[in-house]
Structure 1
């Protein structure tokens, strides 16, 4: 249902109309029959965000659907939004406090220009990170995937979903951070560490050979000679995540995928360099009635007998041409790397001054990337990654 958050002037305060019992809802419909004269049900959206009073109509459709609506021509409907719990408010307070202390701009219940896309806390630094805390199961039609897609379309760089429920994290269908469960006094205590237990990972690469001791994803007994990549669980606290994500030091990988994750900027770059050739075992199907004989970590004798020489590119002609970026973007990214390198060993006021210089350089680079991608119609992500690769690995023409 839309417009589910309402204020009841009979003393019940702010409630979620979708959670009222059937009897209570029927009584509310009868009592609010002449809504503008009765003045019993007030729109909580309009009051909380704009301090405007709109008296709402309440009725039920033939199929039993509850409707809370504005007066005709008064205002547009609002999307469903869960009622904020005390723990939810405490988490948002903590995120806002940590972000502001770190030097970012933080806005609560920030809404985009479309009037529908909102964030529990919008953190604005080197990147715009929309923080969303989820305590209750997602409402049909307003799930994490739909809301993440709308938020990214509203020109925000990332959506940081956070929950303390493993059930919600498993069903979210997007990259989601899961932390240990904490009560309100613990959340409000700045010394209490809220640890991220899931959704934050490190990227590991290895050269595939028999010596390394890893199982070859291509099922070659002695290794295939290629470089493989995988992820492993890693740890971070919620406070450190908030300090780093808006600065671009922690980035999401596959944010619209339930198996997505967050990782450091260095490991994000490693992942992206290998993303175009992620390891997938070949489709080997045994003949009916026969089973492959496996040995040594599940590799078959047939696979072990194959040629283990490093395989070169098999479809070089079909590989996409590398993205070309102007020297201006490469120069700006090199400046970012130089400013960041000078942070090493600094502390106190010297670190703060250098950190601001680095963030200014990073913001200039991101603005230039956006401008170039918009002008050329290219993918912003591809332009950014191409500029970063060129800055780290300059070719003969640079």
Structure 2
């Protein structure tokens, strides 16, 4: 597995779970955990040899059965795994070989919903497309706006992305000329349950966090989103990181949400103030860092997204994936999409050693990384989500 171009001082990976398989050997995957020194721990082997909790779940080829088991089981497994991961000498017998392994999709994506939960991104999009009107639509501050995406095209980090074709304008069908990146957090759900899910119970259904890139064909999206929402401009590919960070590992990253000015719908108001995540993302284009979006600026929490998603009676399934929507900060160097960084193509982005970009070119590689604070005051890595653009 390759590593992203990063600053010289790279925090170690945090406790996370994923799945790896042998290159060219489909069906041979197993659950793994990254070790602080860069190695991989065979979680199923360790659970079997050391009589850990729920070895039948941990010897599975991916996280599906664990997600299905519910929050009490997740917490027991994560607590047990933490004690072993921190004891390098005991874990050495269960390390996976350094070569010949590739990440596979860590869980089967049941449903995928992408939200629009960052106010700065929503404002920027409004200023770009409705410069003479109020940037935010009237509903935006009252509920988490979102659209139902395509689960079948979610792919693991490192998978290539083929430039999609679509209807760019009336009578104009062809490969997109405005391929974009969207830096997001993804929330992995488990513990299947019928809706509605009260906001105060929603946290028991959030297993963990992945990094997510919601690739977007802006010209296709712009033509087809009148009056309905994104369809072919989004459905061709969504990339997620290979590792899922359990939500309990992000306790030290919990921060108050930005102040809400509009009254939220009643089902979105918890007994205790809702909290977000202080996760610092970075976006790299061909090895050059172009943005540092701050996830602490997300306006809605994962728990509010779950509560709103199920408020009409929709059920949850293990493996549901929720995207936060593009994360953007108040300054240009915190914008999480090329739409904003180039202001819809008006302001090209300079890249060292190459031509500037307004949109992604064939051969471009995008890498999104992130770090979060640990309980001891240090920071740890949430891994990366990486993808290279192939020609149409």
The structure richer in strand per residue is 2
TM-score between both structures, scaled by the size of structure 1: 0.22
Larger radius of gyration: 1
The structure richer in helix per residue is 1
Q: Which one scores higher on RCO, CA 8 angstroms, separation ≥ 6?
A: 2
